[in-house]
Structure formats: C-alpha cells, structure tokens
Structure 1
Amino acid sequence: MTPLRRIHTALAAALLAVSTLTGAASVAPPDPVSVSPMTAPQLIHLETITLVNAETSDVATQVFGVADSNLYTLNQSDLVAQLSAIRDLGVTDLRLGVPWIYIQPTATTYDWAQMDSVINTAHGMGFSITAAITGNPVWGGTPIAGAPDPTAYAAFAAEVAQRYSGEISTYEIWNEPNGVIFYSPVSAETYTTVLQAAYTAIKAVDPDVTVLAGALGATTTIAGLSVSPQEFLAQMYASGAQGYFDAVSYHPYHYTLPFSAGLGLTNSPWEQVQALNAIMAANGDGDLKIWATEYGNATTPVFGVSETVQANFLEDFLVAWSKLPFAGPAFIYSGQDVATGMLNHEANFGLFTDDGTPKSAAEVLAALIAARDSGALPDYSAPLLPEAEVVYLQLASIASGLINQALIIPNAIFEAFYHVLPEPLQQVFTAVSDFITAATTDFLEATKPLALDAITVLLDLGF
C-alpha cells in the first residue's frame, strides 16, 4: 500500500472507531420488480414471473477465473509474480480493468504503456482476458464515477478493441452502473445509450468478441443512490438495450450470507440472479448467460471475515453457481491483497496476502478447478455465521462504507496537498497514519467481544 493510501485508511479507521460508539442504521430493501416482454415494456411484480431454480450437471466447461483491478498499478516484476501465482492455481481466465481516466488523460492524447504491459503479459502467459472499460476521464465531466459521454466512451472502446484485437476476448461495458459509487447519476436510460454506442463501436472493430452489459451490483433500490439489479435491467430493456449485449454480468456479493443460502430471501444475490434470468427470458434473451465477474469476501481485521469463512463462502458460491443453467463464467475477486491487515475492505479481498502467501481460499479454488476438470464438483453449502456476528459485520460495513464515501472529497484535497510536501513531511504523515490505524485496530478488536455480547442480548430480547 502506498503511503498516501495508508493515510486515507487511517482517516477512515479513526472515524470508524468513533462510529462504533454511535451506531448505524440500515435501509429496508424494497420489493424487487421485473419487466414484461419488450413488445409491452412495463414494470411488473416479480411474483408473477416463475423463477428457474433448475440445476445443470455440466460443470466441465464452467469457467472459474480471477478478477483483479490492481494489476494496472504493478511494476513488471510484481505483475509477473502475481499472475504466476494465479496461474499456478489452475486459473486460465482473468478479468481486469481498463482505466479510461489514465489511458486518455486529455481528449486528444493517449498513454498506453502500462495497459500494454498488463495485456501483453497476461495474454503471453496464456490467460483469456475480460476487460472492463471504466473510469470517466477528467476532461469528460465528473472524474471516475461520472456517467460518460456515449460518443466519447464508444470512441475510446473502439481504440481499445483495435489495439488489443486477438488479446482481449470479452469486454464489459462499465462497472456497477446501478450505483452512484461507480456511475453518477444512476440512470438505466443513459447507461443503455452508452451500452448501445460501445457495443456498436467494439463490434465494428472486432466482431468476434463478447460484450457484457453491466456489471450490475447486488444492491437494493435507494432513491438517488442505487437501483436493484433486476429493476435496472428491466429499465434497460425498456430503454432499448436488447440486441446490444451478448451476456449480462452481475456481482453477487454478500458478505454475511453464503450464496446458496439466499433461496427465498428477498433481494439476496441468489434471488436477484434468478430474477435477472427471468427478465431476460421474458424479453426473448433466455438463451443468454449471466456472468459473475466479481465475487469475494474481505479478510479485513475487525469487520471482515476470517480466512476460513472466506474460503467457505468461495466454495459455496462456485459450487452453487456452476449448477445454475444460465451460469456463465465466475470470477473471484481478487488475486493478492493490496495491504493485508489494513482497515480497508478493498485491501483485503485477495486469494493471497500481500507477501504472496496463499490464503485458504486459494487452496479451495485450486481444488475446485481440479474437481471441475475431472467433471464433478463436490456438493457443499457453507455454514451460516452466528446471528450476532452478522449484525455486527453489517453495521460495521455500513459505517465503513458511509465514512469512505464521505471522505472522497477530503481525500482528494489532501492528496493534492500531500504531493507538494517535501519527502520528510510525507514520511511523518505516513508514520502517523500507520500509528492511527494500528491503534484503531487494537481498539476495535478489544471492543468487538463486548459489541457481540450486547448484540446477542438485544437479539434475545427480540430487537
């Protein structure tokens, strides 16, 4: 982890410690919705659509890949080392990001050097590559998460497809456009316009590639912030998305519920993906697959899960996913931790720790790939977490997410300030941030048993 990122983490960690003393609130999920066939687009209740819970026994062709958004930041030696570790697990499919904001810094200039290194290295090592083109450039409006101009995005996508023809096999149009964290303002209508333009541009250059719509995040509808994936897909069809994607991609994250345990639970990833398939079938796209281009669990101290739980959830997901008749490739996020042990979920999703040590999840993934290659996956369902721990992790994750969101602008301001400081002062800031993070971690670890006991009492009382 860079010194600057460590300072950002320290700020969030300190606020998180305070938030544990004040509590957090959750938002009740709305009823999911769906859409009727394209000839009469209208929102209808999900209960009127029959969900297909059938299973398929054909697992030999199921793809188990790895998604990693950090590869672009690595030097060549670290890139080769991390890709080698992933390949040694038996993984042959890789999903990575193509950061538009860095590659096209102005409307008329490009910097392909780092992207060339990543793509050429991964392809040369035998990986099949899925590329998510994301990150609105500064010159195109709101940086990173701003809804992109369709024409500009399509032009860039065409440049990428032309440059990496024969190396990238699949393109993903944006990342989680149904939430403001990645696409703001959230709008299925404007996203569909982007999708239509990008699909047309990419196919004109490289007609044999696969183009994914999405990837839709496993969220609920909260006015102004997010739209559930099933409602978002329904709105996409109503906006004319049909015919402009070869498959839909989805991120079935749930940090406290095993994927297979979601049957019958409103807005669980299991129910959401079934609803997505039902919507596609209702619109004549029932033969198209749904790809899971990210799934994982962070082993973050205090408010993450243990390595054992991470491995259990991974196995549960891949086994259950492979049995769905509409299942496309599934990608585990991510390869290697950015900074093992830091109070930052994004730094702890890896199959490997930051020094390259395999976690239990890496061993499970390798075993599942070997079992898949033999033609039979074991039956497996992960044990449920204790109810008190589920509540604790949910509250901590909500607090952490809100804090990190609130710090986006302050962090950006501080980053500009940090870079003009002399190196000795930068080192002082880094040392202070490391101390704050360590102290916060110790405090939260010490108070977690008390918090769990208090939650247990409240649950016993019926709260």
Structure 2
Amino acid sequence: MLHSKARLPLIASLSVTAFLLCLFMLGVLVHRVDASPGALQDPKQANRAFSVVTTSEFTPTHWVYLPLTARGQAVQTFGYGIQVNSAGDASANIGHIKTLGFGWMKAQVPWKNVEPNPGDYRWDAWDQLIGAYHAEGIKTLVSIVKAPNWARPSNTNFSVEGPPADPATYASFVGQFSGRYCGKVQAIEVWSEQNIFYEWGGEPLDAARYVSLLRAAYLAIKSACPSISVVSGAPTPTGAGAPVAIDDVVYLQQMYQAGLRNYCDAIGAHPYGYNNPPDARLGYTDPADPSYKNHRSFFFRETLEAYRTVMVSFGDANKRIWPTEFGWPSTIYPEPGYEYAYSNTLAEQAQYSVMAYQMAQAWGWIGPMFLWNLDFGVTEPWSTLAYWSLLRPDPVPAYAALAAMPK
C-alpha cells in the first residue's frame, strides 16, 4: 500500500476543498461516474441501430479512491488493430498495417523465451520489433504468457503451457519489460485464456489465483510505466466444464468476485464468431451448416454483450472491453475440429470482419480491437492458424475490404 501515514499531518491543516484537490492531483482521488439507467441498460436490448452511450448520459454519484499506481492514462477509445507473428517480416507487416489504415498491432511475448533462466534476459529481438513499430507510429499491445519451466510449480504438467508458482516472478518480468519499453508499448494483456486447462498448466482452474497474478503484474507495470494500459487476460469462449475449462462468463464473474476491477484498465475478450455472422444471436440457424449454433460462446455479439452485462453488474461500466483476438476462419481443406471454417467463404470472412469492427465502434464500450491474424498464412502456411490470416501469402478479400472500410 502506497498511502503513508507520514503524509497525514501535512494535509490535516488543509481545507476540505484543498485536500480533495491535492488527492486528485496525486492521482489518488477520482470522481466516479455511473451510467444513467438508460446508458446502463442490458446491452441485449440494443437494436440493430447499435445505440451509442455518450458522455452526456452519465451522472456523477460519489468519490472513490484509487491506488497511486493507477495514475497512468488508460486507453479509453476505439481502435483498429491486428495480431502479427513476432517472427514475421516486421517491415512488410508495418506496410500492410498502414495499408489497412490500422493504428495498432498485437504480438504475443512468450516469457519463457525472453527469460529462459532467472535474470537471463534475451531482449534483442523485442528491441528490434517494438522499436520498428514505434518508429512508424503504430501502437503496440503485447500479451505476456507462457511461464518458463524454472518459474512453474514442480508438480505441474509441463506438456502444456502454464502460470508461475509465485506471481512475484511474473511481476518481476513484466516490470522489467514495462520499464524497458515504456513509451513504446501502450498496453499489456496479462496472460491469455486462463480458463482452459492447456493455458493453465493442467492445474485446477482458479479465477482467484489468476487475479492474484494480475494484481502482482498490475502493480509492477504501473510502478515501472504508469502510462501502459493493463488489460485482463481474455478467457476463451466456452461452455465446457471443469476440469477442462470454465464457462468464460462464469469465469469473468469469478474474477470480479476476486477483485478484478481494482487491477486492470480494460477487460480482455476473445469473441470468435465461428461460422456465425457477427450480428447473429443464440437461436440463429443456417440449414446449410447447423453446427456451432447451440451455445452463446459461438457468437461474437453474444460473448461481448454477456461480458458487458457482467461488468455493469459489478459497477465497472466505465471500463472498455478490448477484443484482443477475434475473427472468422475460412478454408476449403479444414483439419479435424475446424470443419466450421469450411462454412465461411472468403467473401463472408471479409463481410463479417468489417461488420464486427463497425458494430463494436458504434456500441461505444469497446476499446481497440485486434483481428486474428495478419501473417500466419505466410509464416506458418501449413498451420490451422492460416485459416484466419489476411495474407496466404497473397491478400485474401478481407484485406481489401478492411482497407476500404471507413475508420
């Protein structure tokens, strides 16, 4: 806790107004605003016109205190982004992102590769990558994942990725990362898809344990670079149960119950649409392919609206959701388990991608969105990841559609 008793005698003699002003300038006191009933209605009541919540719809209610570490200016605006392969051609990808008219890129940082041994940092590749995008004015979100074996529990399942035994080791790494790239990296997503076993070491899925990790990371990041926005790790959309996974909406509720609200600037989400249009809801049918229609998690819109409802219910309506991955795959030769990708034509992939950006921008409670992905069709053309790629290696129709999309 950063509030020192030594400060109290100094401010005791100030007037109430001056006291409040001092706290506000220090970043300790902020004026909380709660949305009016109209602005906080269940998002599922929004019609196809996609009503927008504006600042005029908010009314102040009371003062709340925030830690000094939260003084950084979080990104609270919409943005256009896309995931790149960090091993790809950065120069070419920068050109593509500019052609698309996007302002953000996302890359995944495997902690285990950067710090393979305690204190042994391998920064060179990231210095070059992050420096290149920064030099061209492209903002960067990184998702920091995959603990090195030395930091993981000794009895964990090392055949899958997982978290550290001690959150302090992760906090130390993200703190080093934040200090090194302060001013060049605008946002950090703390872990990813922690509600599914193969991203959590096969260990018991535990939202409270994740929030402990998030808390340690948040404090370290804000201490090293207050301007970096901290995004909570996006759960994977799922209706599966333990021990394989926890329903992502249930998991989000559990994260809030464990204190999520206090340790992030934005809520991460992965609202994949499978083979359903972005404006479709549960109950949508397609006689040509009835698969992937029987649960909320298969629908882009349903997932985002469900998250928004949870946020509102926990009094966190002023934060934005960042879709740190989303998209629609398309291929004529799907691997087993990806048959739904055959249902999406390349034209539909283009249409759905554009529609998703436009819908989300109109809602008014979505932050930067990151389409999955730009270049895995170039770097890993044999992989199922290529089904989503805009480059294979030539641009697919979604590339031109997104470049032409008004922004």
Tell me which amino acid in the other structure corresponds to 1:225: V
| Post-superposition CA distance 1:27-72 (Å, at most 9, x none) | xxxxxxxxxxxxxxxxxxxxxx94454334589x63111112x12x
Give the number of equivalent residue pairs.
Answer: 314
Q: CA offset at residue 172 of structure 1?
A: 0.5
2:316, 2:130 → 1: CA distance?
Answer: 31
Structure with the largest fraction of helix = 1
Match of 2:96 among 85, 88, 92: 85
Q: Does 1:240 align with 2:271?
A: no
Match of 2:195 among 154, 178, 189: 178
Deviation per CA, 1:284-340: give whole Å up to 9, x if none: 111111111111223333223432121122122122222223211111111123359
Task: Say if 2:122 is the partner of 1:111.
Answer: yes
Deviations 1:371-412 (A, max 9, x none): 12xxxxxxxxxxxxxxxxxxxxxxxxxxxxxxxxxxxxxxxx
Say whether 1:281 aligns with 2:312: yes
Q: Distance in 2 between matches of 1:341 and 1:154?
A: 31
2: distance between equivalents of 1:352 and 1:137? 31
Match of 1:98 among 109, 112, 121: 109
* Aligned 8 A contact 2:386 2:392 in 1: no
Stretches of 4+ moved more than 6 A in 1? none
Specify whether residues 140 and 93 from structure 1 end up closer, same or farther in structure 2 by C-alpha distance, changes over 3 A only: same
Which has the bigger relative contact order, CA under 8 A and spacing at least 6? Answer: 1
Q: Which moved more, 1:319-328 or 1:246-255?
A: 319-328
Query: Is residue 319 from structure 1 mapped to residue 319 from structure 2 by the alignment?
Result: no
Q: Distance in 2 between matches of 1:333 and 1:238?
A: 30
Q: Deviations over 1:180-212 (max 9, x none)?
A: 232233221111110010001101111122101
Matches within 5 A, 1:30-429: 50-54=42-46, 55-56=50-51, 62-68=78-84, 70-71=85-86, 73-74=87-88, 78-141=89-152, 142=158, 145-148=161-164, 149-184=166-201, 185=203, 186-262=205-281, 266-267=295-296, 268-303=299-334, 304=341, 305-339=344-378, 344-354=383-393, 357-368=394-405, 371-372=406-407
Moved more, 109-118 or 182-191: 182-191
Q: Among the aligned pairs, what percent are the same residue?
A: 29
Partner Cα separation in structure 1 for residue 109 and residue 136 of structure 2: 19
Distance in 2, Cα, partners of 1:289 & 1:350:
26
Give structure 1 stretches of 5+ with no counterpart.
Answer: 1-48, 373-463
**Take 2:229 and 2:200, find their aligned partners in 1: how far apart are those partners?**
22
- Measure, in 1, the Cα distance between the counterparts of 2:300 and 2:90: 32
Amino acid in structure 1 at the alignment position of 2:330: T
Q: Please provide the CA RMSD for this pair.
A: 2.2
- TM-score, structure 2 normalization: 0.72
Is contact 2:267-2:320 (8 Å) kept? Answer: yes
SS of match in other structure, 1:334? coil
Asked if the contact 2:162/2:198 (under 8 Å) is kept, the reply is no
Tell me the SS of whatever aligns to 2:260: coil
Looking at structure 2, the residues matched to 118 and 62 of structure 1 have their Cα atoms a distance apart, in angstroms, of 24
Matched residues in 2 for 1:263 and 1:329: separation? 25
In structure 2, do the counterparts of structure 1 residues 327 and 56 end up closer, same or farther at CA, with 3 Å as the change threshold?
farther
- Which secondary structure does the structure 1 equivalent of 2:97 belong to? helix
Is the 2:278–2:356 Cα contact (8 Å) retained in structure 1?
yes
Say if 1:301 and 1:343, in contact at 8 Å, map to a contact too. Answer: no
Q: What SS does the aligned partner of 1:291 have? A: strand
Deviations 1:167-186 (A, max 9, x none): 00111101111112322332
